[in-house]
Chain A
Amino acid sequence: MRVAVVGAGLGGLLAAANLLERGYKVDVFEKLPFNGGRFTNFHYKGYEISTGALHMIPHGSKGPLAKMLRKVGAKVEIVDSKPNGTALYRGEEIKVSKKTFPLKSRLKFALYCLKNVFREVKLSELEKNLDEFSAKFLRAFLGWSLSLTPSQLSLSDVYPIYEATYTLGGPGIPIGGCKAVVDALLEVMESYDCRVKREKVRAIRMESYGLSLHFRNTSERFDAVVSDAGPVETYRLAGLNVPKLEESRGIKYSIALKEPLIDHTGVMFTLDTRRICGVNQVTNADPNLGERHFLMAHQPMITSNVKFEIAEGLKDLKEILKGYEYEVLVIQSFSDGWPVNRARAGRDCSNETPVKGLYMVGDGAKGEDIEVDGIAIGIERVVKEIEKEVEKR
């Protein structure tokens, strides 16, 4: 069984490592000169700046990604955030636990869940009925984790995420940042003598024997193709009608701080802001991620005017960091071909495609969880499908 993986993002590399471990022959193709896609980092001015994701894994060392990394033998150390999160509200940092929220709001939330499990009622309906703190926390939490606002989401979109957070716990920071995960996977692949090939796939075609990948001058045969190129690009490569996807967009700030702002490894959600939803001082978990204290801040894009959104975010940062000496190292915006999420929460595509033997992994084809943990769930499904296909033969 020969499998091709298109794209060396986290999804592609994780799929490759899984398939190699099961004894398949795997080839990975990547058009860019670097691996990891939106889940790696570059050294810049003394800091490890990520290409996309925050240096975080949504459910830390207990989540689906961590579990999968252990299974394939990828050595990554993940520091679980402690506490999971705090909230900056009216100038004070408050530790967030269940009890932080007034009983009335907790009951409203439970009632809202019961009433709307099977209905498409926006979360803004819930937000209206909460006390100020809970409402602002909901907004900050969704903005930080999904880059979306309550009016863009319904309960069915977020319930699986809520459940996963409840059972698996909060986030963790990989030692070495996003790139450490990518490097560990590349090492696993190398142990099977598999290296990423720097080639741009031009087309994926169905043939009588399976599938073929077409490059600039050549083509190659495969039994199955796992695409990590995102649903839009995958369908385009396969010559299918491109699906309409609603992506999520956001802006990330990498900030160097002289004195620390936060004294823990968790996220501090910022509640009294225009745009910024939270900050995380990642050097608290791994001092090697930056020369000094390294703060990451994130906001969703509310309007499509990027310059305006950045101006609003910078105003927020000025207020959050009042009295601190800081330098904004990099401001990155994520949309279109390089978004926060190719499909917004709850709208991921199926891992299967109309083409037999062509599967999708990665962002845009995640399972029932967020970010890289959702990616791991999607891959588990694809590997199972491929195994089933092999058994049939």
Chain B
Amino acid sequence: MIVVTEKCVGCATCMLVCPSRAIKVEGKAEVIQEKCEKCKKCLNYCPVEAIKWVE
């Protein structure tokens, strides 16, 4: 599962690159789990390493 940690600054880079439009940003990023296809693109693109993968 993709989770957004406290480090998120809300820059929305993850939302811009998410191919399944599964991220919402209003101040901080939020993953819409039902839409998430777990491609981990957001995790790689996050400039502040705020997105983590948890089993």
Binding site for B on A (CB under 8 A): 32-34, 37, 42, 44, 49, 51-52, 306-307, 310, 330-339
Q: Determine the distance from Cα of A160 to Cα of B27 in the docked complex, in whole angstroms.
A: 33
Q: Determine the distance from Cα of A37 to Cα of B45 in the docked complex, in whole angstroms.
A: 10
Whether A333 pairs with B45 at a CB distance below 8 angstroms is no
Say how far B50's CB is from chain A's closest CB, in angstroms: 8
Contacts A32-B47, A333-B10 known; 18 new A-B pairs at CB < 8 A: A34-B45, A42-B13, A42-B16, A42-B17, A49-B12, A51-B11, A306-B28, A307-B26, A330-B12, A331-B12, A331-B25, A332-B25, A333-B9, A335-B9, A336-B7, A336-B9, A336-B48, A337-B47
Question: What is the chain B residue whose CB lies nearest that of A308?
Answer: B27
User: B28: which A residues are within 8 A, CB to CB?
Assistant: 306
Q: Determine the distance from Cα of A51 to Cα of B17 in the docked complex, in whole angstroms.
A: 11
With A33-B45, A337-B48: A49-B9 Cβ-Cβ less than 8 Å: no
**Proximity string of chain B (39-55) to chain A, C-beta cutoff 8 Å, 1 when within and 0 when not:** 00000110110000000
User: A333: which B residues are within 8 A, CB to CB?
Assistant: 9-11, 27
Which positions 1-24 of chain B face chain A at CB distance < 8 Å?
Answer: 7, 9-13, 15-17
Question: What is the chain B residue whose CB lies nearest that of A50?
Answer: B16
17 A/B residue pairs, CB under 8 Å, sorted by A: A33-B44, A33-B45, A44-B15, A44-B16, A49-B16, A51-B13, A52-B11, A330-B16, A330-B25, A331-B12, A331-B26, A332-B12, A333-B9, A337-B7, A337-B9, A338-B9, A338-B48
Q: Determine the distance from Cα of A331 to Cα of B12 in the docked complex, in whole angstroms.
A: 7
User: A44: which B residues are within 8 A, CB to CB?
Assistant: 15-16
Binding site for A on B (CB under 8 A): 7, 9-13, 15-17, 25-28, 44-45, 47-48
Whether A307 pairs with B47 at a CB distance below 8 angstroms is no
Q: Determine the distance from Cα of A334 to Cα of B9 in the docked complex, in whole angstroms.
A: 6
User: A339: which B residues are within 8 A, CB to CB?
Assistant: 9
Say how far A199's CB is from chain B's closest CB, in angstroms: 14
User: B11: which A residues are within 8 A, CB to CB?
Assistant: 51-52, 332-334, 338
Say how far A332's CB is from chain B's closest CB, in angstroms: 4
Say how far B37's CB is from chain A's closest CB, in angstroms: 18
Question: What is the chain B residue whose CB lies nearest that of A254?
Answer: B12
Q: Determine the distance from Cα of A337 to Cα of B11 in the docked complex, in whole angstroms.
A: 10
Whether B27 pairs with A330 at a CB distance below 8 angstroms is no
User: B15: which A residues are within 8 A, CB to CB?
Assistant: 44, 330
Question: What is the chain A residue whose CB lies nearest that of B12?
Answer: A332
Which of B7, B9, B27, B45 lies in contact with A307, CB distance below 8 A? B27
Q: Determine the distance from Cα of A336 to Cα of B12 in the docked complex, in whole angstroms.
A: 14
Say how far A168's CB is from chain B's closest CB, in angstroms: 29
User: B44: which A residues are within 8 A, CB to CB?
Assistant: 32-33
Say how far B49's CB is from chain A's closest CB, in angstroms: 8
Question: What is the chain A residue whose CB lies nearest that of B44?
Answer: A33
User: B48: which A residues are within 8 A, CB to CB?
Assistant: 336-338
User: A334: which B residues are within 8 A, CB to CB?
Assistant: 9, 11
Q: Determine the distance from Cα of A336 to Cα of B6 in the docked complex, in whole angstroms.
A: 12
Whether B12 pairs with A310 at a CB distance below 8 angstroms is no
Q: Determine the distance from Cα of A32 to Cα of B44 in the docked complex, in whole angstroms.
A: 7
Q: Determine the distance from Cα of A333 to Cα of B27 in the docked complex, in whole angstroms.
A: 7
Interface centre among B10, B17, B28 (most CB of A within 10 A): B10
User: B17: which A residues are within 8 A, CB to CB?
Assistant: 42
Say how far A49's CB is from chain B's closest CB, in angstroms: 6
Q: Determine the distance from Cα of A86 to Cα of B27 in the docked complex, in whole angstroms.
A: 29
Say how far A23's CB is from chain B's closest CB, in angstroms: 32
Question: What is the chain A residue whose CB lies nearest that of B47?
Answer: A338
Q: Determine the distance from Cα of A44 to Cα of B13 in the docked complex, in whole angstroms.
A: 11
Q: Determine the distance from Cα of A337 to Cα of B7 in the docked complex, in whole angstroms.
A: 9
With A335-B9, A336-B48: A310-B16 Cβ-Cβ less than 8 Å: no
